Structures are given as C-alpha cells and as structure tokens.
Structure 1
Amino acid sequence: MARSFVPARFPDRAGAPISVTMADLFLSSTPDATPHGDNVPLADRLRPQTLSDVVGQDHLTGPEGAIGRMVAAGRLSSIIFWGPPGTGKTTISRLLAQAVGMRFEPISAIFSGVADLKKIFAAARDHARTGQRTLLFVDEIHRFNRAQQDGFLPFVEDGTVTLVGATTENPSFELNAALLSRAQVLILRRLDSDALGLLLDRAEALMDRPLPLDAAAREALIASADGDGRFLLNQAETLFSVDLPAPLDPVGLSALLHRRVAVYDKDREGHYNLISALHKSLRGSDPQAALYYLARMLVAGEDPLYVLRRLVRFASEDIGLADPQALIQCLAAKDSYDFLGSPEGELAVVQACLYCATAPKSNGAYKAMKAAWKSARDTGSLMPPANILNAPTRLMKDVGYGQGYEYDHDAKDGYSGADYWPRDMTPQTFYTPGERGFEARIAERMAWWSKLRAERGGA
C-alpha cells in the first residue's frame, strides 16, 4: 500500500514554510545551541504542527473532545495530562498554546525549583499587563513536592498562568487535592497499532524511502514500542541509519534492535494495576489471563515473593474451604521459591497461580471474618457461659465454672448440641458455606448438626 505524508511546517512571517525544529519546540530562546537539519532527532522533525496532526488522542483533540471544545471556545482551563510516555503530552500542550494565542512557558519539575518558578510567575505577570496570557507547561509535575505544588495555587487562581501539567503517574496519588480541584484531568491513551503505523508512514514520507523491513517485521517493530510513539520513531531512526542488503524479517529485527522495557514501577500505580488484574483474573477463574498478568509482573522485575504473598492471601480470601488445598499449595510454592530461587523457583509460583485460578471459589471465610470481627467489637467483654469455662481451682468450681458441660465425644453422634454463646448474646451466623467444592460437604455437615441441635433443644 502506497504511503504519503506531507511533513508539518509552520509558516514564517513572510508566508514561506519553515520546518519544525528542536529550536522551535524547546530551545527558541537559545537558537545557537540548537542542532539543525539531519542532526535533529526524527521524533522532533515529525512533531505535529496542529492538533489535527496528533495521532491516537482523537477522544481529546477531536471536535467533541475536551481539548477540541476548549480550542473552539478560544480559552483554556488548567489541565493535568495523565498518560504513558510517548503519547504526546508535551506536543499537545505546545499546540494548545499556539491554537489560542498564548505564550508557552515550559519547565521540567526534575530540573526546576522555587527560584525558577518565581521568575516564571514574575514574567507571566509582566506579559499579562500587555494582554499576553501564559500557558505554563510543567513536565513531570508529580516530581514537585506537596509544598511546591501548593505554590502554584495563587497564580492559577488569579489567572497569572494557565497551568498544564504532565504526569505518567496517577494524579489521585501524586498531586495535591487542592491542585486537582483547580484543574481538569485529561487521560491520554497508549498509542494503538494504527496510530503507531501512521507514525511510521510519516517517517517514511519524511525520509522519502521505506523502512528496511518486511511486513511481519514492521508489525513486530510496532508491537515492540509498547504504545510509545517516541520510542518507535527512535527505533525507526536507527533502522534508517543502517545500510542493509535486504529487508529484515522479525528475527533479524530482534537481533538489531532491543524491545522497549515495560513501564513498571514497583512502588507506583502500574504495580497496583497489575496485581489487581492478577487477583481479579484468579477470582474470575481465568487461568490464561491470570498467567498473563503474573508473567507481566515477573518479566518486569517484580519480586516473586510479593506475588506469592498475594496468592497466599487469595487462597484464603477467595477460595477458602471450597478447596483447603489451595492455601497449602501456595505455601508450598513459597517454600519452593525460597529453596530454588529464580528462575527455577518461578515455576512453583506458576503452579500455585494456576491452582488458584482453577480451584472452586468461595469468599465464605472472608465474609465470616468480617462479620465476626464486627460482632466482637460491638459486644465488648461479654463472658462465655460458665459451663464451658475451665475450673482449675476450688473457688471456680464453687461459683459454677464447668458445671453442666457436655463432653461431645461422649454424646450420641459425637455432638452435644450445647449452647456456647454468652448468655446476654443471641447466637449469630457468621459463616455460611457455599455449594462449590469441599464447602458443599461442609454445608451438609452443618445442616445435619443444626437438625440434631433442634431435636435436642439446643441453641
């Protein structure tokens, strides 16, 4: 299929087109330090000129999207862009400022401090006096601490700046509530294969030659980017720079390039998203999905013992007595991993994962625990009935401890049906076994005991 794309260009004051360069985008105040021409990275040469050129974010940039509506109205509210790396947060922010005629002031929370912000706010006020509004773009805004984030508030509230922050982390956890209340959170999506394919089309049009890949290798290249457009274009630039006798197949591509490392911070949201997905796949009895999320975590470098702790918990919370062996399997997997380590011990983790996914499910023990704990808090210090208390001293015997206790092993059917509840408390039901797995047998046994208790006048 023929591919064509006209590279985005800005018009200069005389009307002639000029190419988008790193200077246009990042270093306009220091043009002498800017690389030119072929020295500019491919990803920067392909930065869009207008919002309509942005790929993969039509839900925001389209006419019905939040950004499209703001541009149509000619006025921006403060925004927090939340999304994976390489999805266009910086580019969209710059194009937003251009679309509504605002001055664009970019900073990075990694390299900036309070002194830098004070200078920016002072300059923004000076420009405001001449009618020039300022869009302050803060990359990695979650890197600012809580006090620094609070420092934005008065300048956002009085209109000195319109704040556009970019973060790869969940704003709910990383940004102050006060700041979030003054900004609209917009979520950028991971670029899908169509969007990434369009980026490659544009790269080939700009370079005026196809990538040295066969169709299967092209698909493999797109998959390797893991939704990151910047990474994909950097890989494409490498491919354009090498002289190859023939197009590469997937094996040749893999030998030449490396895959993008999966985004996974063990103390951040990606970590909790994947463990949640694993837990819910197990609960839903989907061993294939559960194994996938387990692999995602372990391949990304998660500690197998963390996963095993979650599996042990799952065995009690979501399987319980429907299959008592599940807990034993998980603990055995933990012992196996302790003994073997990685990678050999990871097979035991897989076995425990598959056992839990395919076991009958019951949350009866979990619900019983919650109910019993609540009852214990509500009833305070009620004494057990005297007949089931030990009486190791004469005085205790004299006051009735142990009197009338029925020894169940001596009772008919090994069951006395006695009342074990405090005298001032109505007997309650915390645990109700389900009808799946071993719990079905437990339910039968408990029903039989209830019948005997009723016949013998017990509780």
Structure 2
Amino acid sequence: MADLFDSEDLSKEAPRPLADRLRPKSLSEVIGQRQVIGQDAPLTVMLEAGSLGSVVFWGPPGVGKTTIARLLADETDLHFVQISAIFSGVPELRKVFEAAKQRRKAGKGTLLFVDEIHRFNKAQQDSFLPHMEDGTILLVGATTENPSFELNAALLSRAQVLVLERLDLADLERLAQRAEVELGKTLPLDGPARENLLEMADGDGRALLNLIEQVMAWTVSEPLTSQALGQRLMKRAAQYDKSGDAHYNLISALHKSVRGSDPDAALYWFARMLDAGEDPRYLARRITRMSVEDIGLADPQAQTICLQSWETFERLGSPEGELAIAQALVYLALAPKSNATYVAYKAARADAKKTGSLIPPKHILNAPTQLMKDQGYGSGYAYDHDAEDGFSGQDYFPETMDRPEYYAPVERGFERDLKKRLDYFSKLRSKRSS
C-alpha cells in the first residue's frame, strides 16, 4: 500500500517546482534553524546519541519543517510517512498505524510526519499516544499555531517542542544563490530590487523560491529596478508588503509623529497604513509600545488608554473599532513625553549583564537558618517603616558596586512630581549616610 502523499509515486519526468528541486539532501544543507540542527542543538544531540524522540516543530510556513522531518527519517533509517491533518481522519490514521505495525514486525521503524497537527481534535490526537509509547511510530508534528494552546497535554508530554524561526535576509540570500546555481543564471534584478524580492518573502523560503521561479521566467534586456519589480509583481508584492520598506517607513513616520506631539500627522500616517491593509491589531500593539517608550510615567494613564482602545477594537471589530485606536493615538500625541524609564531600564540591563555574578549585600539577605545568621545574613538591616520619614537610606546594591543613577525623570507631566520625590529621597539618603 502506498503511503498517503508519498511523492515517490510521482513520475520522475514530471516538471518539479524549484522548491522541490532544491530540497536539501542532508541536514547540513538546511539553511537556517541552527538553534535546532546546529552544533549542540537538540536534534543534533539526539542524533549523535542515537536516541531521537518524538518532536513537534512549531514555526511559520516555509522554514523547513517538512524538509527536516524527511532528513531525520534518512538519518535514522526510518520509513518516512507524511500525512496532513487537513485531509486525514480516523480511517486514514488507522491505515497508517496498521501499516506501521506491519513494518515494525518486519524490522523497520516508521517516522510519521503530521503536517498541521493542531487541526486534529482531542480524540484524534489521543489516538497517537499508544503507538508512540510502544514504539510503533516516531511522531514528528508540524504546526504554525502555539502548541501550548492547540495540542493536548498528554501529547506534549511525550514530544519535545522545537521552535523553527523565519529565515532572515542572510538565509534568504543564500537560498537565492542556490536557486541561481540550480537554474544556471542570475536573477535579472539590480541590488535594491534583489533586496526587495527577499523582503517580499517575509522569511518564507518556499515563497521566495516561488517568486524566484516567476522572475526567472521573464525576458528582460537589463536588470530590473525596484519600481519595475513592484509593477510586475504588484499583486504578489502587496501580499508581502507588510515586511517591506513601505511598511517600516510608514510605522516610523507614525511613531515619530506621536513623539513629536503632532496629532494631525499621526492620524494621517495611521490612515495611510490602514488603507494599505495593515492589521489594526498590529497598530494597536505598536501604539501601546509608544505609550511605554515615549510617554512612560510622564502620563501613566496613556498606557491604560491604549490597552482600553485595543480591547474596544477587539469587541467592535473593523471599521468601528479603529476609531478607538485613533482616539488613543491623539491622546498619545498630546501627552507629555518622557523616555526616562526607558533609558533607565536599558542602563540597568547593561549593568546587570556586566555584574551578573555579584550577590546582594548581606544586610538585605534573608536568614531562615542559624548558619545563615552566623554568616551575617540580614545583619544590620534597617526596617524602613521604623526609620524616620519611613526611609532608612540603606544601600541595596552589591557591596563592591558603586551606586549608579539610572532614572532621571523629566520636568514634564507626572514625572515632575516623581522628580520631587526622587530628589527628596536623595537628600535623605545623603543625610543618613553622613
């Protein structure tokens, strides 16, 4: 019986898509995903130890989930079977399991690759468990959805989840170069147009190869510019435009308009992005980020208003809900601005990386045992509630670290009041230390 979706039955003479022709023959040929198949990565360690277990690949389309699964079967000398949860039901699963049992009796193991595994319901997912446990199959699932939400806990407990990432531009360029070698010619694009083509793929290797195949079929007298490429790939480019230059240019204009306290410009760029087909949820998220990064504690209410506008959009939907996001946008543009917390946070993170091994001073360490008390843990700690003004002025940084100053509030909005408090505590600290 032929396995479902077994490509071995296809005619060798049939035209093959570029993506199929460039499918890697070994794990070393796979582009990207070093966090999974690189040196000391999970799959590499499993293979070297000869103990490959069931896994679930979680990642976006076109990043190599199917390819890696096939190569794992080759590496472990297992029979590769591929099914899709979209097209398979209980009868198909029974046939697959029965074939795997017969194969096992003949001394051959089975690697069962299940694409879109999250589309199986609970009962269907449970049907894999006994066959995984008795070794009839080694399951390799693939999903674009969060396994924590879409897969049963019982299945997850028997499989390791490995995250596959979108290919970056360097990976896509390597893939494009392989395609040029396979096709025996270079892409008829100038430098900027080539970069735009890579960006259109949005980290999807299969999408890039489909685009390359389309571009390579054109007859052109000279390399195409970005503008010419955009005209020829107008419909395709629009689908990927959210990762292209226009997308980043518009979000940059929107962000800087808010930072520059210009509500009219902010609304203009907001409208431009909506008209271009941008997801309002993405804009709601970015606007919330602006409230944290550029307004912060100068107006603590700004973040709350952004989150409320986001929730309102989710309840109303489009287009009515977009007005709530627009209202938050205007509020942010007119709010007092401060990045003091943002700057302080980055400075603290930098120091934390430099001094990550320093322990807290002993006077603020808990001492639940006598041994710890004998070591001086908690000795000399001043309880602030008992101190004058409710402030002891003790130093809470590591003993060998000079006290830094990260947070410098601005004289705008609510941070004006916070600055007064900070100055007040600073004077008290100096008084206590002297």
Contact 1:80/1:184, CA 8 A, preserved across alignment: yes
Q: State the partner residue of 1:63.
A: 39
Counterpart Cα distance in 1 of 2:206 and 2:16: 14
Q: Summarize deviations over 1:352-381 as a string: whole Å, max 9, x none.
A: 45556935899xxxxxxxxxxxxxxxxxxx
1:211 Cα offset (Å): 0.9
Residues 24 and 222 (structure 1), Cα distance of their counterparts in 2 relative to 1, 3 Å cut: farther
Q: Summarize deviations over 1:96-142 as a string: whole Å, max 9, x none.
A: 00111000010001000111111111110111011100001000111
Give aligned-pair identity as a percent: 43
Q: How does 1:321-336 map to 2 (within 5 A)?
A: 322=299
Larger radius of gyration: 1
From 255, 261, 264, the equivalent of 2:239 is 261
Contact 1:326/1:356, CA 8 A, preserved across alignment: no
Q: State the partner residue of 1:78.
A: 54
TM-score, normalization by structure 1: 0.59
From 156, 172, 175, the equivalent of 2:132 is 156
Q: Does 1:123 align with 2:85?
A: no
Q: How does 1:181-196 map to 2 (within 5 A)?
A: 181-196=157-172
1:328 Cα offset (Å): 8.0
Q: Summarize deviations over 1:190-232 as a string: whole Å, max 9, x none.
A: 1111111111111111111111111221111111111100000
Q: State the partner residue of 1:302.
A: 279
Q: State the partner residue of 2:149.
A: 173
Counterpart Cα distance in 2 of 1:81 and 1:260: 29
In terms of mean alpha carbon deviation, does 323-332 or 103-112 score higher? 323-332
> Which structure 2 segments of 5+ residues have no match?
243-254, 342-408, 422-434
From 44, 58, 61, the equivalent of 2:20 is 44
> Which structure 1 segments of 5+ residues have no match?
1-22, 265-280, 363-433, 447-459
The number of residues matched between the two structures is 326
Contact 1:226/1:260, CA 8 A, preserved across alignment: no
Counterpart Cα distance in 2 of 1:153 and 1:181: 10
SS at match of 2:239: coil
1:145 Cα offset (Å): 1.4
Counterpart Cα distance in 1 of 2:237 and 2:61: 15
Q: Does 1:243 align with 2:222?
A: no
SS at match of 1:165: strand
Q: Summarize deviations over 1:251-285 as a string: whole Å, max 9, x none.
A: 11111112273699xxxxxxxxxxxxxxxx9xxx9
Q: How does 1:326-405 map to 2 (within 5 A)?
A: 350-354=329-333, 358=337
Counterpart Cα distance in 1 of 2:65 and 2:224: 32
Q: State the partner residue of 1:9.
A: none
SS at match of 1:246: coil
Counterpart Cα distance in 2 of 1:357 and 1:116: 62
Counterpart Cα distance in 2 of 1:135 and 1:357: 59
Counterpart Cα distance in 1 of 2:64 and 2:309: 47
1:344 Cα offset (Å): 9.6
SS at match of 2:53: coil
RMSD: 4.7
Counterpart Cα distance in 2 of 1:134 and 1:361: 58
Counterpart Cα distance in 2 of 1:46 and 1:444: 61
Q: Summarize deviations over 1:270-327 as a string: whole Å, max 9, x none.
A: xxxxxxxxxxx9xxx999xxx9xx999956653469939x969x79xx9689466887
From 206, 211, 224, the equivalent of 2:187 is 211
Residues 89 and 329 (structure 1), Cα distance of their counterparts in 2 relative to 1, 3 Å cut: closer
Q: Which has the higher helix share?
A: 2
Counterpart Cα distance in 2 of 1:225 and 1:168: 17
Q: Does 1:107 align with 2:86?
A: no
TM-score, normalization by structure 2: 0.62
Residues 296 and 124 (structure 1), Cα distance of their counterparts in 2 relative to 1, 3 Å cut: farther
Residues 190 and 440 (structure 1), Cα distance of their counterparts in 2 relative to 1, 3 Å cut: closer
Q: State the partner residue of 1:30.
A: 9
Amino acid at match of 2:170: D
SS at match of 1:213: coil
Counterpart Cα distance in 2 of 1:436 and 1:186: 48
Q: State the partner residue of 1:426.
A: none
Contact 1:329/1:352, CA 8 A, preserved across alignment: no
Residues 172 and 200 (structure 1), Cα distance of their counterparts in 2 relative to 1, 3 Å cut: same
Counterpart Cα distance in 1 of 2:97 and 2:309: 60
Counterpart Cα distance in 2 of 1:172 and 1:58: 23
Q: Summarize deviations over 1:319-343 as a string: whole Å, max 9, x none.
A: 68946688789999999x99x9799
